[in-house]
Amino acid sequence: MIQSNLLFLIIVGSFVAASSAYIGSIMVLKRMSLVGDALSHVALPGMAIAISFNLSPILGGFVALVIAVFGIWYLEEHSETYPDAIVGLFFTTSLAIGVLITDQPDLLEALFGNIEKINFTEGFITILISIVLLTTAVFLTSKITASLISEELAKSSGINTRLVNLIYLLTVGAVVALGIRFVGTLLTGALVIVPAVSARNIARGMRSYNLMSILFGVVSAFFGIAIANYKGFMVGPIVVLVSIAIYVLTFVVKLLPLKLNRQRY
């Protein structure tokens, strides 16, 4: 029988993984896969400041990410610098500051996460935020898809693409903040992206793609936390490795029909 504390961590991790994977599925479509990874490092200074004041590192990371998101959005709208370059600017600056001001023991936890330290109140809030983020992302999906097909058509349909992009970036920042406590700043990008690219290997439509992304994220969290707890490993790296294993499996499944067709001829 699963211990109550382990079950609690699995539930919290599964909600974070589900919201991360769904938002990541949109990121893959928008070709913003590396943005989630870069934003995770932006949270490091905020986490360091929060830890120094005995506050939740998730809260500190979230504040830093919100500031960065507004900065990225503003520069993207008012400068000629490409979005990936803007994200890179914030990424390198924040990483340098974070490493300088974070104590050595806290730095290891910030880089690789420590979900075991989440208490009941923090876990409950994390679940609620994950539900809000997932609901928001679902609401934005059709609008983002329309803008991907044609931004001019989306605008003519009454969609405020600038506002949609801002809200979406804020959801990315928020889900990254949650993922940081789960798998750390170094691995959050994998939590967001890998389930989505795994789903894309075998999905046959937009709906199945989104649902499979969530499923693969939850499965990664469940088995990753369970294996880490059983073997005494850090949770973050194991969750990511399970997610990578799922990607390899879906890639093999994707190749099988091609090989069978070749053998027929």
pLDDT in tens, 244-260: 999 999 998 887 765 55
Measure the CA–CA gap between 253 and 235, rounded to whole angstroms: 27
pLDDT, greater one: 110 or 236 = 236
- Averaged confidence pLDDT in the chain: 79
CA distance 232 to 209: 33
Most confident of 17-31, 80-94, 216-230: 216-230
Mean pLDDT of the 226-254 span: 88
Look up residue 121 and give its two tokens.
């109140």
Residue 234 CB coordination number (10 Å): 18
Phi, psi of 21 (to 5 degrees): -65, -40
- Nearest one of 56, 118, 111, 150 to 240, comparing CA atoms: 111
Domain locations along the chain: 4-188
Neighbours of 161 (CB within 10 A): 15
In the chain, % of residues over pLDDT 90: 17
Q: Which residue from 9, 29, 23 is spatially nearest to 174, judged by alpha carbons?
A: 23
Q: Which amino acid is at 1?
A: M
Q: What is the pLDDT of residue 192?
A: 85
Contact 38, 152 (CB under 8 A): no
How much is the average pLDDT of 200-209? 88
Binned at pLDDT 50, 70 and 90, residue 103 comes out as low
Residue 104 has pLDDT above 60, yes or no: no
28-44 average pLDDT score: 73
pLDDT at 84 over 70: no
CATH of domain 4-188: 1.10.3470.10
Q: How much is the pTM?
A: 0.81
